[in-house]
């Protein structure tokens, strides 16, 4: 009788295991250090290039010649070694891995803290550093301490205007920034059924903000239908009775739209309590909330209206951008006065394409609001797509009124 993490890793919580890695990915940021460490280790070719991915998303297209030169080396390495490669504009690494790459039951590591996102497919997915990743390149394996698991039991369904992001921020605020340290989060209960695959990815994306090693959903009918689009037929994962370290219960019907003021992600409070906060920029995108469903919800709120604060919308992948273009979602967003960026991380990490100035306030759909994250002296408030859309139309933090989900 095991938790999903125990089942996938094949050992009990607390045990150390050496595991074969099914998929391992780096981005243009962490890839540079990984390649350095790998070269220093002096190994022959990567053990299993077909399991490795190099995905450019952090600073795309390159912002200066230093970045461009670092990217050039990594690009040439990927191509010469037969490693899966996605160039500028392909999208955020976690999103690309979630477009039919990662499958239930797999062991996945990414050289990025939000690699836990892929746990939404019932995989064991977690972030590692560059040197750990270099060892994975060299050997195809890594070690884990099998985590204990905290159950997040969901019941009920969302009220209008509430979405997965509000739930994710609420879970982080209940647990605290280190409330799930070294542990896994498993989202269980009837309430999971009403969460779309995209909503689940938003949930698992924020697991790391509570310190968790990963966040997991059991693969079910929703997972199966989503992966079928990419040609994969997968089995459901049936939960077994198991021992959880503790359990957090949430009735989705009790939730309200929330905002997390800086500098902590566990600071969620009702949007209503800060309504009217003046904004300098709204940013919709990232590995948290840049998926098609997010853009569609945003478009449904701003349709035939104009945003009155500068608003940047960045699709999380080329696939999302294409779908938004094909369905008219993109033209609705452009017509409302928003700026569209290259699929990727955009200004999320404060490097380019929408960095904020001193004293400025950005309302963002991302996952981090740390000091100076999006620009020195600027403040980042985190919220849902619906809150971002309603606020972009008013220029101040605004409670979204109704659920505009199609």
Partner 1 sequence: MHLEGNVVCLGADIDTDVIIAGRYLRTKDRQVWVEHVFEDLDPSLGARLRGSVLVAGRNFGCGSSREQAAVALKEAGLIAVIAPSFSRIFFRNAINVGLPVVEGECHCASGDHVVIDLDEGVVICGGARTPVRPLSARMQEILRAGGLVPLWRSKKQ
Binding site for ligand SF4 (CB under 6 A): 57-58, 92, 94, 112, 114, 286-287, 345, 348-349, 366-367
Select the binding partner of residue 385 from partner 1, ligand SF4, none (C-beta < 5 to 8 A, by kind): none
Write out the binding residues for partner 1, residues 64-93 only, by CB under 8 A: 64, 66-67, 70
Q: Which residue from 55, 83, 93, 128 is in contact with partner 1, where contact means CB under 8 A?
A: 128
Binding mask 249-288 for partner 1 (x = CB under 8 A): ---------------x------------------------
Kind and range of the H or E element at 295?
Answer: helix 292-302
Q: How far is the CB of 89 from ligand SF4 (least distance, A)?
A: 14
Between CA 338 and CA 333 the distance in angstroms is 6
Name the pairing type of β-strands 281-284 and 361-364. Answer: parallel
DSSP assignments along 130-152, one per residue = HHHHHHHHHHSEEEEEPPPEEEE
| Of the candidates 313, 304, 306, 318, the residue with the CA atom closest to the CA atom of residue 385 | 313
User: Residue 332 binds which one of partner 1, ligand SF4, none, with CB within 5 to 8 A depending on kind?
Assistant: none
Nearest distance from residue 31's CB to ligand SF4, in Å? 13
Under rule CB under 8 A, residue 371 binds partner 1:
yes
User: What is the enclosing helix (H) or strand (E) of 97?
Assistant: helix 93-97
| Token pair for 64 | 């200066």
Query: Three-state DSSP class for 221?
Result: helix
- The site partner of 182 among partner 1, ligand SF4, none (C-beta below 5 to 8 Å per kind) is partner 1
Q: CA of 399: how far to CAs of 8, 101, 315, 346, 381, in Å? A: 41, 36, 23, 25, 14
Q: Which partner in ligand SF4, partner 1, none is near 325 (CB below 5 to 8 A by kind)?
A: none
Name which of partner 1, ligand SF4, none residue 86 binds, using a CB cut-off of 5 to 8 Å depending on partner kind.
none
> Which ranges in 18-64 belong to alpha helices (H)?
30-41
Distances (CA, A) of 216 to 92, 151, 156, 340, 352: 20, 10, 19, 32, 32
Site residues for partner 1, 289-348, by CB under 8 A, read none
Q: Which residues bind partner 1 (CB under 8 A)?
A: 16, 29-30, 32-33, 36-37, 40-43, 59, 64, 66-67, 70, 111-113, 115, 127-132, 134-135, 138, 143, 177-178, 181-182, 211, 213, 264, 349-351, 368, 370-373, 376
């Amino acid at each position: 009788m095991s938790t999903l993490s125990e089942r996938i890793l094949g050992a009990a919580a607390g045990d150390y295991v050496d595991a074969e890695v099914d998929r391992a990915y780096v981005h243009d940021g962490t890839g540079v250090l990984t390649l350095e460490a790998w070269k220093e280790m002096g190994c022959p070719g990567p053990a299993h290039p077909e399991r490795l991915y190099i995905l450019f998303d952090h600073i795309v297209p390159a912002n200066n010649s230093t970045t461009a030169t670092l990217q050039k080396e990594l690009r040439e390495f990927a191509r010469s070694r037969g490693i899966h490669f996605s160039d500028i504009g392909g999208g955020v690494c976690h999103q690309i891995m979630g477009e039919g790459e990662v499958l239930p039951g797999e062991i996945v590591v990414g050289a990025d803290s939000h690699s836990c996102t892929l746990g939404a497919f019932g995989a064991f997915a977690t972030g590692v550093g560059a040197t750990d990743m270099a060892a994975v390149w060299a050997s195809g394996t890594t070690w884990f301490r099998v985590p204990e698991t905290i159950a997040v039991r969901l019941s009920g369904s969302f009220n209008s205007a509430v979405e997965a992001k509000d739930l994710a921020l609420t879970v982080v605020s209940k647990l605290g920034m280190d409330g799930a340290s070294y542990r896994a989060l498993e989202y269980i209960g009837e309430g999971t059924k009403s969460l779309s695959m995209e909503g689940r990815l938003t949930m698992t994306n924020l697991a790391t903000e509570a310190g968790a090693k990963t966040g997991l959903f059991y693969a079910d009918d929703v997972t199966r239908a989503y992966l079928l689009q990419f040609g994969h037929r997968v089995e459901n994962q049936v939960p077994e009775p198991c021992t959880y370290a503790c359990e957090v219960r949430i009735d989705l019907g009790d939730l309200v739209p929330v905002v997390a003021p800086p500098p902590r992600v566990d600071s969620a409070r009702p949007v209503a309590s800060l309504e009217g906060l003046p904004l300098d920029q709204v940013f919709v995108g990232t590995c948290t909330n840049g998926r098609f469903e997010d853009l569609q919800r945003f478009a449904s709120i701003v349709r035939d209206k104009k945003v009155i604060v500068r608003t940047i919308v960045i699709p999380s992948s080329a696939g999302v951008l294409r779908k938004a273009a094909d369905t008219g979602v993109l033209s609705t967003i452009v017509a409302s006065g928003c700026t569209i960026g290259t699929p990727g991380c955009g200004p999320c990490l404060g490097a380019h394409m929408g960095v904020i100035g001193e004293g400025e306030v950005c309302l963002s759909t991302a996952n981090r609001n740390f000091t100076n994250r999006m620009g020195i002296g600027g403040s980042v408030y985190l919220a849902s797509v619906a809150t971002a859309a309603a606020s972009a139309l008013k220029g101040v933090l605004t409670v979204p009124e109704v659920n505009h989900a199609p």
